[in-house]
């Protein structure tokens, strides 16, 4: 029986698409649902094209009326994957799915993590600090932004001519390469 993955995404969805296609090719698992908190997120179009079920959820659905909690309990996913999801996961969901929720962060944690540190904000901060390298961190999700136990890190060198945009592209390549593999190893 195939393992079940639920993906949470807030943006473009390129990592979600990579995860969907990776597991369609290897057959180990299936992304059964993609949940977004953004009704205009690019991930919705990607999922429509790939014929993957989606759900747009409000803040109330996550934090007040238990809609997301109950949906996840009904699906009983083997893994919940945050791929560019910007809200803090409620403690109730974390307790119910302990060590089954992971996130990918576009920097080498513990540096450049926490509330507000996502996407271009991270890359701008890394470049401004004149860091020599950056990378990705895949970690378990706990009750605090970007503070769960680290599962995997990969890095890339930053050159003097890198911009936040060029660094973002380097980070995306690391994400696309390693995120599906780490998910596979957890399953």
Which pLDDT does position 116 carry in this prediction? 87
Please, what is the end-to-end C-alpha distance for the chain in angstroms?
Answer: 12
Which pLDDT does position 136 carry in this prediction? 97
Q: What is the pTM of this model?
A: 0.95
Q: Is 172 a catalytic residue?
A: no
Let me know: does 75 contact 100? Beta carbons within 8 Å: no
Which pLDDT does position 1 carry in this prediction? 84
| CA separation for the pair 140, 103 (Å, rounded) | 6
For the chain, residues with pLDDT lower than 70 are none
State pLDDT tens for residues 69-116: 999 999 999 999 999 998 999 999 999 999 999 999 999 999 999 988
Domains (ranges, CATH) in the chain? 3-186 (3.40.50.170)
Distances from the Cα of 129 to the Cα of 117, 124, 126, 144, angstroms: 14, 9, 5, 24
| CA separation for the pair 50, 38 (Å, rounded) | 19
Which pLDDT does position 50 carry in this prediction? 97
Marked catalytic residue, from 105, 123, 139, 172: 105
Which token pair is 94? 């974390």
Contacts of 94 (CB under 8 A, 6+ apart): 101, 141, 142, 143
User: Count of CB atoms within 10 A of residue 177's CB?
Assistant: 12
């Amino acid at each position: 029986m195939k393992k079940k993955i639920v993906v949470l995404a807030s943006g473009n969805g390129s990592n979600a698409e990579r995860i969907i296609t990776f597991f369609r090719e290897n057959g180990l698992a299936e992304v059964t649902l993609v949940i977004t908190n953004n009704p205009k997120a690019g991930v919705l179009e990607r999922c429509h094209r790939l014929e993957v079920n989606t759900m747009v959820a409000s803040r109330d659905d996550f934090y007040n009326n238990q809609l997301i909690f109950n949906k996840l309990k009904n699906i009983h996913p083997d893994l919940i994957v945050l791929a560019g999801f910007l809200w803090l996961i409620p403690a109730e969901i974390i307790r119910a799915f302990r060590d089954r929720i992971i996130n990918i962060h576009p920097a080498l944690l513990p540096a450049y993590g926490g509330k507000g540190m996502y996407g271009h904000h991270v890359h701008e901060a890394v470049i401004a600090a004149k860091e020599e390298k950056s990378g990705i961190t895949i970690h378990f999700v706990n009750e605090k932004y970007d503070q769960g136990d680290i599962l995997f890190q990969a890095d890339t060198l930053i050159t003097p001519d890198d911009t936040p945009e060029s660094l973002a592209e380097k980070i995306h390549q690391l994400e696309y390469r390693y995120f599906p593999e780490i998910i596979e190893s957890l399953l």
